[in-house]
Structure 1
Amino acid sequence: MQVTALYRHPIKSHGRECLDAVTLVTGQTIPWDRTWAVTHEASKADAAETAWVACHNFMIGTRTPALAGIWAKLDEVERRVTLTHQDLEELTFCPDDPEDVAEFLNWVAPLCPENRACPTGIVTAGTRGMTDSDYPSVSLMNVASHRAIEQAISGPLELERWRGNIWIDGAAEWEEFGWLGRDIQIGEATLRLREPIERCAHTSANPRTGQRDADTLGTLESDFGHQDFGIYAEVVNGGEIRIGDKAVLQ
């Protein structure tokens, strides 16, 4: 097995970025993954820097599918994010700067349905990352399982729909669910595989257009008897991971 793709998502549900390499840190998410999250009127995260809270406190693709069409690029030194969407002009801003955040809120407003909660600001949990899991996690995806869904749905699907961090090829389809509780060494890092990731309607939205165009949840349920895709893992030994690195179960 080997790594075929790496992604991070600097702002939760607001774009993904492809990586060639990443250095994992013990007990943390992928660096800069879900570092920021966008609040709405009912959010309990009302300070610029806050503790972890659950995903329903934020603007997410389940309720706002057009967000799936956003792509991101992070300048780590300047802490500035460039967002692109096929229906909007490019935006570069600092999520820590209140004036820049106001500009972002205007930028993203056309993607938000009028009958849903509106974005109100951006918060950060520091290096903790606003993962959907209540512990700092890294998500591991199996390319073969993705192909199985493509076959069942009778058409191609983009990897980005699953918002995963590390993609592994060379395993059998759905083999990953038999790895739970084990460790896996990927490049220099070791991760403990903890639990399957239950999926939501965000996966039905096209990451190019932001339009819902595939019944991913219905296909998972009807053809495979569950709505899980990918595994949450914890970093138990940090180190560098690169595209092409081997992945070995321990």
Structure 2
Amino acid sequence: MTVHVTQLYRYPVKGLSAQPVATLDLSVANGVAHDRTYALALGSTRFEREKAEPLDKGHFLMLRANEILAQLQSHFDETRSTLTVSQNGQVVLEASLQSADGRSTVEAFFTDFVGAAAQGNIRVAEAPSHKFTDVSVVSPTMMRALSVINLSTVRELETVVGQEIHPLRFRANVYIDGLDARAELDWVDRDVIIGATRFRGALRTRRCAAIDVNPRTAVRDTHLPKAIFRHFGHPDLGVYLEIVENGNLAVGDQVHFRHGILPFHSV
């Protein structure tokens, strides 16, 4: 069994649900297409579209503080720039993120949905070439980085904590399998090729309380950051890859180092 991509996701609106895709389009200039393109800024947040600067994720609705968001299932149609949100199988919102009326509808819905946590009136934030990734504050390169989770590492964590852990807690773009648990942490500063596209290991992913929110139930039901540190000796799970050339990824793509296929194990 080779190391390969099992699932691909994008998150068009920061904090909202994962959107599975068969392929991801990537570019050095703009990162992952339609990923963290929009965010829901708190009423207390000052974000200027014309002078967009990276802000800590605490300035926006996000799962670390707003687990209620996991009650919603969202879908973004890039051809119409339309956001559809469902709850308990029923559509509760459908609006364009490119029209003033549509954004106002989205803002009113989320202001009401999260209540006092909105800290005023929620606003849809967006700016050209800007990404609302958690590590956007690190550098422009990291703003456009690709996040990767190794499913073997998730399974190892399940074993040490003694419970099932849904991989979508980690909100990655790329999920891979066939690699030894935690081997992805050694990718930093190494060239990695997925499919036909080259990347550079950039940064290990430090985990926060967002991963304690169960994406199926919207309940904060674990203490995973503490468990990761206790069992692994550090707070990291997953890795960010710098996109060094334009390309795309597809489910099933193999993962290589520049000088050969990665070590793998049977699963």
TM-score with structure 1 length normalisation? 0.91
How many pairs does the alignment contain?
Answer: 250
User: What's the CA shift for 1:118?
Assistant: 4.7
Q: Which moved more, 1:87-96 or 1:11-20?
A: 87-96
Q: Distance in 2 between matches of 1:120 and 1:128?
A: 19
For structure 1, list consecutive stretches of 5 or more residues without a partner in the other structure.
none
AA at the equivalent of 1:64: N
Does residue 67 in structure 1 map to residue 85 in structure 2? no
Q: How does 1:7-46 map to 2 (within 5 A)?
A: 7-46=9-48
AA at the equivalent of 2:129: T
SS at match of 1:126: coil
Distance 1:86 1:46, change over 3 A: farther
Does residue 243 in structure 1 map to residue 251 in structure 2? yes
Q: How does 1:113-128 map to 2 (within 5 A)?
A: 114=116, 117-128=119-130
Q: Which moved more, 1:4-13 or 1:135-144?
A: 135-144
Tell me the residue number matched to 2:196.
188
SS at match of 1:96: coil
Distance 1:231 1:75, change over 3 A: same
SS at match of 1:241: strand
Q: How does 1:72-221 map to 2 (within 5 A)?
A: 72-86=74-88, 89-109=91-111, 111-112=113-114, 114=116, 117-134=119-136, 135=140, 136-221=144-229
User: What's the CA shift for 1:175?
Assistant: 0.5
Q: Distance in 2 between matches of 1:56 and 1:133?
A: 12
User: What's the CA shift for 1:61?
Assistant: 1.2
Distance 1:127 1:88, change over 3 A: farther
User: What's the CA shift for 1:46?
Assistant: 4.2
TM-score with structure 2 length normalisation? 0.86
User: What's the CA shift for 1:115?
Assistant: 5.5
Distance 1:44 1:106, change over 3 A: closer
- Determine which structure has more spread, i.e. the larger CA radius of gyration: 2
SS at match of 2:31: coil
Q: Which moved more, 1:116-125 or 1:191-200?
A: 116-125
AA at the equivalent of 2:171: R
SS at match of 1:114: helix
AA at the equivalent of 2:250: R
User: What's the CA shift for 1:49?
Assistant: 7.7
Q: Which moved more, 1:19-28 or 1:86-95?
A: 86-95
Q: Distance in 2 between matches of 1:118 and 1:211?
A: 25
Distance 1:154 1:99, change over 3 A: same
Cα pair 1:49 1:126 within 8 Å, conserved:
no
Deviations 1:134-188 (A, max 9, x none): 3321101111111111112212111111010011111111111111101111112
SS at match of 2:123: strand
AA at the equivalent of 2:176: I
- Percent identical pairs in the alignment equals 24
Deviations 1:54-87 (A, max 9, x none): 3222111111111133332221111112122338
For structure 2, list consecutive stretches of 5 or more residues without a partner in the other structure.
259-267
Q: In angstroms, what is the RMSD of aligned CA positions?
A: 2.1
Q: Which moved more, 1:106-115 or 1:234-243?
A: 106-115
